[in-house]
Structure 1
Amino acid sequence: MCFYKTQAKWNARTWTAAYKDVTSSYQNLSSGAYGSYYVYNSRNDDGALLHYTNGYTRCLGPNEYVNNNSTPTGFWTVDKIRIMDSPNC
């Protein structure tokens, strides 16, 4: 899982934080990941459950990404992540 704090970091493919461990509960994000513009699931066979500060959750499948600045209501802040041992959440 790669987190890109800004549009420029995404364009340069320079992540600001990364997570790799499958967990049984949510992990709180570091300051390098918290509130990232883009999140990319670089894993080939595991999904990731993203948790947002507004309580919303989103399953990010293998090799998928999300632009948190293009949601229907504007910018959403990712604050936690749970990497699953399955492509589905």
Structure 2
Amino acid sequence: MSDHGTTTRSTPSARERRPQGGNVVTRFFSAIALYFSQVLDEMRKVVRPTRKELTTYTIVVIAFVTAVMLFTLGVDAVTTRLVSWIFSGTW
């Protein structure tokens, strides 16, 4: 109920409703059509990055992956040296 004592009821649009009428085959194809209609509606909402944003994101990802690779390389080298020293006694 709203503040004025009246009930407000929103009716769903045709794209929000589930297919209800007809036989099984009609409902099946109506559901498929509704699905693709909703997919297209969602795709219209997608915001595509500009060339500058895409370049920036690409550089950030490459830098981050490189940093993680170098960190992993360092940890691997230290661990290898440590295990070699423990088990063979050579550094």
TM-score by length of 2: 0.16
* Greater strand share, structure number: 1
Comparing both structures, which one devotes a greater share of its residues to helix? 2
- Which structure is richer in relative contact order (CA contacts within 8 A, separation 6 or more)? 1
Bigger radius of gyration, 1 or 2? Answer: 2
